[in-house]
């Protein structure tokens, strides 16, 4: 073998993938083997987790695809796993994924049905440089195409799995965002935080990444403004809406006295926009909703903050991610936890952080 690799074999999950309607409601076993090519020389020298890719993160990415999503074909499960893994860490050069479906419904006595695919970072980079529409590009992008019926399927599969009252769309059962989960893995054995994932804010994502946005309004028709802002996000190029939280009515935290209560809401998107590109979009949407910025923390028709962007830490003059105040704001954390009950921020459950925030008692869930 002429290359370094991390290998996971026999990862077993229950999933609802298949062409037959029954397969899409009744879980059956799927077994995944993954070979992830990473240069392991540095980790071999330093004995440091930060110098390699954690196999736990690799397993988590695969878990999220196999248990949290629903596809017709094992080819597509494999392609999606490959794509998400290449998006997990820039140091991953190539991946080989085998998806086994040992109980595939066939009237034959057989041991296993499986597919194996190999995807390299170069293939992904080349197809991106060509700027070809994803469907015409073989390989890595295919798994990410979400047709309309897929989005609907995903929505229904998710809400069946996680009956979060009132949430219009909820996140998958396996719901720990793997990017958030990564921050857990970033804790070294002694619990000390290791290197943060600093990210160039101008760089577009090679693959769609998850981002959580927080919206707030306390001027004008706030309910209509939030709905319209979410519509604008959904309609924007390079953005796919994944989940929206229930609305929260919240008391103003900070800022001048006698402000009206806010309506707050959190959404999760998938995007290939760069962090600055996403900030531009957020600010454009604010402007389109007549945002007036007169004083810090003052009343506003619409505020759109980027709470997280993949697992990135960003500190540019225009943008800090994770949003520096998010971890102390129940008006962000509680709606987020309603949308994704197992979400983590900085390795801590968002639900717990919400309970510790000073404005926790001032946040009321609105279910209609």
Ligand X SMILES: Nc1ncnc2c1ncn2[C@@H]1O[C@H](COP(=O)(O)OP(=O)(O)OP(=O)(O)O)[C@@H](O)[C@H]1O
Ligand Y SMILES: Nc1nc2c(c(=O)[nH]1)N=C(CO)CN2
Q: Which one of 101, 135, 195, 251 is the catalytic residue?
A: 101
Q: Which does 262 bind (CB under 5 to 8 A by kind): ligand Y, ligand X, none?
A: ligand Y
Contact between 260 and ligand X (CB under 6 A)?
no
Contact between 297 and ligand Y (CB under 6 A)?
yes
Q: What are phi and psi of 43, to 5 degrees?
A: -65, -35
Nearer to ligand X, 195 or 293 (CB): 293
The CB-nearest residue to ligand Y is 216
Residue 159 CA to residue 157 CA, distance in Å, equals: 6
Residue 226 CA to residue 245 CA, distance in Å, equals: 11
C-alpha 126, offset from chain centre: 24
Residue 256 CA to residue 328 CA, distance in Å, equals: 19
Q: How far is CA 257 from CA 261, 294, 332, in A?
A: 11, 14, 21
Tokens 């809401």 belong to which residue? Answer: 265
Residues numbered 5-44 forming contacts with ligand Y, rule: CB under 6 A: none
Nearer to ligand Y, 183 or 265 (CB): 265
Nearer to ligand Y, 190 or 294 (CB): 294
Q: Is the peptide bond before 322 cis (omega within 30 degrees of 0)?
A: yes
135 is catalytic: no
Residues numbered 319-358 forming contacts with ligand X, rule: CB under 6 A: 319-321, 323, 325
Provide the token pair at 136.
Answer: 């015409």
Stretch that binds ligand Y, among 8-16, 69-77, 115-123, 251-259 (CB under 6 A): 251-259
Contact between 252 and ligand Y (CB under 6 A)?
yes
Whole-number minimum distance, CB 268 to ligand Y, in Å?
A: 17
The secondary structure of the chain in percent helix, strand, coil, rounded to multiples of 5, reads: 35, 25, 40
Catalytic residues: 101
Q: List interacting residues with ligand X (CB under 6 A).
A: 279, 293, 296-297, 303, 305-306, 318-321, 323, 325
């Amino acid at each position: 073998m002429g290359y370094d690799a991390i290998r996971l074999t026999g990862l077993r999950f229950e999933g609802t993938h298949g062409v037959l309607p029954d397969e899409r409601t009744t879980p059956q076993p799927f077994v995944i083997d993954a070979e992830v090519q990473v240069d392991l020389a540095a980790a071999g020298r330093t004995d440091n987790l930060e110098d390699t890719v954690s196999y736990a993160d690799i397993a988590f990415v695969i878990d999220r695809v196999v248990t949290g999503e629903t596809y017709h074909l094992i080819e597509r499960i494999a392609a999606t796993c490959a794509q998400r893994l290449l998006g997990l860490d820039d140091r991953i050069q190539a991946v080989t994924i085998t998806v086994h479906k040992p109980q595939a419904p066939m009237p034959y006595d057989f041991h296993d049905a499986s597919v194996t695919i190999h995807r390299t970072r170069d293939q992904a980079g080349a197809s991106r440089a060509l700027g070809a529409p994803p469907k015409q590009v073989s390989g890595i992008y295919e798994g990410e195409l979400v047709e309309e019926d897929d989005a609907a399927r995903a929505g229904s599969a998710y809400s069946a799995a996680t009956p979060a009252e009132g949430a219009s769309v909820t996140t998958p059962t396996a719901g720990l965002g793997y990017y958030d989960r990564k921050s857990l893995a970033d804790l070294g054995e002694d619990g000390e935080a290791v290197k943060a994932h600093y990210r160039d804010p101008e760089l577009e994502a090679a693959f769609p990444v998850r981002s959580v946005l927080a919206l707030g309004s306390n001027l004008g028709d706030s309910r209509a403004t939030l709905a319209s802002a979410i519509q604008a996000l959904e309609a924007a190029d390079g953005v796919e809406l994944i989940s929206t939280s229930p609305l929260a009515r919240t008391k103003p935290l900070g800022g001048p006295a006698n402000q009206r209560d806010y309506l707050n809401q959190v959404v999760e998107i998938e995007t290939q926009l760069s962090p600055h590109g996403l900030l531009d979009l957020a600010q454009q949407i604010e402007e389109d909703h007549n945002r007036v910025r007169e004083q810090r923390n003052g009343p506003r028709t619409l505020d759109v903050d980027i709470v997280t962007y993949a697992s990135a830490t960003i500190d540019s003059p225009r943008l800090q991610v994770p949003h520096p105040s998010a971890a102390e704001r129940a008006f962000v954390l509680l709606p987020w936890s309603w949308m994704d009950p197992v979400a983590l921020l900085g390795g801590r459950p968002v639900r717990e952080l919400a309970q510790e925030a000073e404005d926790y008692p001032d946040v009321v869930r609105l279910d209609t």
